[in-house]
Structures are given as structure tokens and as C-alpha cells.
Homo-oligomer: A and B are copies of this chain.
């Protein structure tokens, strides 16, 4: 038999896992990622793929793919038990590190793509007859906003003090 020896995870634990799963989903990740990460986070010892699948009623395939994704994001590390052949996994507990990484690799990337796309589109905008070229001006506003977002994210990632006042001043007048 595979991993049936593990302590039975309680109902409450599964609820925490699901709660985190939903939050992660909102953050743009898949729900199972949050669920698995949480189970590992709540476990004093690393767990194997079989246990996880059993507890969460997920197929081996799904567990495997979800774990790889988590490992890719650094949210889970492969662990190792001497003697045992199969892999074990444990949660990265520095949530701050994880958040920073997501901000750096995903959000910042997104903002930059946004800026690029705007720049391209702007180049393709025909010049208008009206003297203060309305559309072009608006696109500039969007670009300025993107730059601000980039600045803010960069600061957050670097752990610097952030002052949102400029945003509010300029855009929420």
C-alpha cells in the first residue's frame, strides 16, 4: 500500500486549505495550488504526493502537475527522507518572499507588457485634426499610470517605503 500511514488530516485542516485555495484563486493561481501548499504548510513533516492526493481527493496526475507548478514558483521544496525512494515535499514558509517573487516575476512583467502595447498602439494612432490631440493625450495618461504602477511595484519588491500620495494626487483629484 502507498501512503495510508499518514495522520488523518482533520476536517478543519481541509477547510483552512480550501480557504487559502480560494484566496490563491483570486490572486490568479489555481485553487489546487493553494490547497496543497496549505496542507504542507500545516504539516510538521514533509508529505508525499500519494498522501496529498488521498487527503484532497485528487488524482495522481493532478497532484503531480500542481506540485511542479508550486515548485516552479518556489512555494514548495522537494524534501527527502533517507531510505524512502519517493519524493517528499514541504512548504516554503516565508510568505513574504513568495509575494515578492510573484510581484517581481508576474505583476511587474505584466505592467511592462502593458506599457509596450500602449507604445505600439500610440505609434499607430492617426494624428487628429483637433489641436490638442484628444486620443493621444488620453493614451499618454494611461502610459503615465503604467509608469506609476511600475514604480510602486519596484519599490514594494525592493522593500522600500511606499508613498501612494502621488497616485491619488494625480489620478483621484
Contact = CB atoms under 8 A, between A and B. Distances in A.
Interface of A: 10-13, 15-16, 19-20, 23, 26, 28, 41-42, 44, 93-97, 99-100, 110, 114, 117-118, 120-122, 124-126, 130, 134-135, 138-139, 141-142, 145, 155-156, 159-165, 167-168, 170-173
Contact of A170 (B12, B96, B130): B96
A110 B27 CA distance: 11
Contacts of A97: 171-172
Given A110-B23, A162-B162, A96 B167 contact: yes
Nearest to A95: B171
Given A110-B26, A124-B11, A126-B10, A16 B171 contact: no
B130 A44 contact: yes
Counting from the closest, the 10 A-B pairs by CB-CB distance are A96-B171, A96-B172, A12-B124, A19-B117, A162-B162, A159-B168, A15-B121, A97-B172, A12-B125, A16-B121
A152 B142 CA distance: 25
A118 B16 contact: yes
B26 A139 contact: no
Contacts of A172: 94-97, 100, 159
Given A12-B126, A172-B94, A162 B163 contact: yes
Given A12-B126, A15-B120, A20-B142, A134 B44 contact: yes
Given A161-B163, A164-B161, A171 B28 contact: no
Nearest to A91: B138
